[in-house]
Amino acid sequence: MSISDELRDASLRYECPNCHQPIIRNGSWFKAVSTFRCDACKTKLRLGYSAKLALFKRHKATFSGA
């Protein structure tokens, strides 16, 4: 399964697992990034392919009303 380009311009929300601060970026950013730092707590986070799939799937369901 591949990550859809359908949400590339949509604002997606990911919650830092350490401090629970919301991280809101375009889908294209989440699709391209693999590691990043939380702006709030500075924890280095890794967003693997399976986590990206789950993030996009969750937001697709939200946007489609499912």
Write down the pTM of the prediction. 0.84
More confident residue, 63 or 16: 16
| Opening angle at CA 60, ends 26 and 46, nearest 5 | 50
Q: At 36, which helix (H) or strand (E)?
A: strand 35-37
Q: What is the pLDDT of residue 61?
A: 80
Q: What is the pLDDT of residues 8-44, one digit of tens each?
A: 999 999 999 999 999 999 999 999 999 999 999 999 9
What is residue 64's predicted lDDT score, i.e. its pLDDT?
61
Distances 20 to 7, 14, 40 between C-alpha atoms, Å: 23, 9, 9
DSSP β-ladder status, 35-37 and 44-46: antiparallel
